[in-house]
Structure 1
Amino acid sequence: MSGYLCIHWAITPEIAPRPLINCNRCGGVKAYRCSEKFRVNANGKRIDVWLIYRCIDCDNSWNFGILERCNRRDIEPALLRALESNDPALARRHAFDVVALRSRVGRVEEFPDVTVHKQRLGDTGESATALELKLGLEMPTSLRLDRLLANGLGISRSRLQALEDRRLLIIDPEGARALRKPARDGATIRIDLVAEPDRQAIISAAGG
């Protein structure tokens, strides 16, 4: 493993999923964007909480249920404060819960746009002949792994596929057609570059 340069890629999605909802103002199905604002309604000791979405065309509102008829004493005080103060991190976490959104509305528009922060791990640099990329996703993304790697390494997707076919690119955990599936949190990609003439350029693009 001495020839491997290990790099951590911290991947942050840029645009939250948008539910597709029949807008009663526009008269058709429209994408709704997250407003990053919560609506907290207290009725005695019972509390309801929604995350507010807005139609991208007319600003009509739609409420995505977060808590329903919860007893105040069952809610952690810190969580209640975060909801009442529209904590951005909490709103973002719920906005990127595409599984919950789909269970509520069915159709959801997802976006592949991400920001990648690359951090080198260890000292191996110019002597490296292989890469080990560790992926950390802040939130799930629909971005395919081959597109992520192609953009991050400056090489084509067909070349990545050729490296995988020759067993010079290994994905852990491995799965059928993993390159063509969304990037996964915790995945490790190992690429043997010893025979690649532009090895150093690829390593530099990776964050080395």
Structure 2
Amino acid sequence: MSTLRVHWTIAPVTAPRPLINCNRCGGVKPYRCGEKFRVNANGKRIDVWLIYRCVDCDNSWNFAILERRNRRDIEPALLTALESNDPAFVRRHAFDAAALRDRAGRIEESPDVTVRKELLDGEPGRAVALALELRLDGTTPLRLDRLLAGEFGLSRSRLQALDDRRRLTIEPDGAKALRKPVRDGLTVRVDLAEEADCSAILSAACR
């Protein structure tokens, strides 16, 4: 069976927003990432926060990144990245939903993502099966079945039918992964040999 191997990198578009009790607005409000760190040095100790602001009144909230760390224990390159508000480092922390939820308690997440596709091996016009490798650049609440259906141009019921006929396999989590948020490191295999729109699905998977 000729197989098309494709790698997808999935990146969330909008950073999760903590839901904070704003002392200016007088209620719980989403706070957006200000894309800047605040570095505070107290003697040899350093605190670092990523600054968030209320979407309505611009009140600030600090997301702790480092607390009471000795300057000597911080790599110079890391300290430089923090002090210069390095965009890649800001994104790394702003899209860490688990850490943000741990600090704030509740967060608001968007399912919007971008998908960068890389063809690793095979030709869409000749293959009859797909091996899809997923890499996640930040967490997302987007369910796997919604991602696959949208990118393949299929309905979710069609995906379920493929699974029922054992034409769809997901490793390591199995079919239960379809109804869960996309997870880094998943491999999706689809046997399309009996599907009339095989070529269209394979083309959509890599373009």
Structure 1 length-normalised TM: 0.96
Question: Could you tell me how far 1:12 is from its partner in structure 2?
Answer: 1.0
Indicate if the aligned counterparts of 2:124 and 2:199 stay in contact, CA closer than 8 A.
no
* Distance (Å, rounded) in 1 between the aligned partners of 2:152 and 2:137: 20
Where does residue 94 of structure 1 map in the other structure?
A: 93
Runs of 5+ consecutive residues of structure 2 not aligned to the other structure: none
Question: Could you tell me how far 1:127 is from its partner in structure 2?
Answer: 1.3
Change over 3 Å in CA distance of 1:137–1:54 after alignment to 2: same
Where does residue 126 of structure 1 map in the other structure?
A: 125
Describe the SS at the equivalent of 1:191.
strand
The alignment-based identity, stated in percent, is 70
* Distance (Å, rounded) in 1 between the aligned partners of 2:56 and 2:123: 51
Describe the SS at the equivalent of 1:133.
strand
Where does residue 161 of structure 1 map in the other structure?
A: 160
The answer to whether structure 1 residue 67 and structure 2 residue 63 are counterparts is: no
Alpha-carbon displacement from aligned partner over 1:79-102 (angstroms, at most 9, x marks no partner): 000000001111111111111111
CA RMSD of aligned residues (A): 1.1
Question: Could you tell me how far 1:125 is from its partner in structure 2?
Answer: 3.0
Q: Equivalent residues in 2 for 1:50-199 (5 A)?
A: 50-175=49-174, 177-199=176-198
Give the counterpart letter for 1:42 in structure 2. A
Change over 3 Å in CA distance of 1:60–1:45 after alignment to 2: same
Give the counterpart letter for 1:33 in structure 2. R
Describe the SS at the equivalent of 1:177.
helix
Describe the SS at the equivalent of 2:142.
coil
Alpha-carbon displacement from aligned partner over 1:141-196 (angstroms, at most 9, x marks no partner): 11100010011100001100111111100001124621000111111100011111
Alpha-carbon displacement from aligned partner over 1:19-74 (angstroms, at most 9, x marks no partner): 00001111110000111100000111111100000111111100011111111101
* Distance (Å, rounded) in 1 between the aligned partners of 2:115 and 2:57: 33
Indicate if the aligned counterparts of 2:163 and 2:175 stay in contact, CA closer than 8 A.
no
Describe the SS at the equivalent of 1:179.
helix
Runs of 5+ consecutive residues of structure 1 not aligned to the other structure: none
* Distance (Å, rounded) in 1 between the aligned partners of 2:41 and 2:66: 11
Structure 2 length-normalised TM: 0.97
Question: Could you tell me how far 1:138 is from its partner in structure 2?
Answer: 1.2
* Distance (Å, rounded) in 2 between the aligned partners of 1:176 and 1:4: 20
Give the counterpart letter for 1:26 in structure 2. C
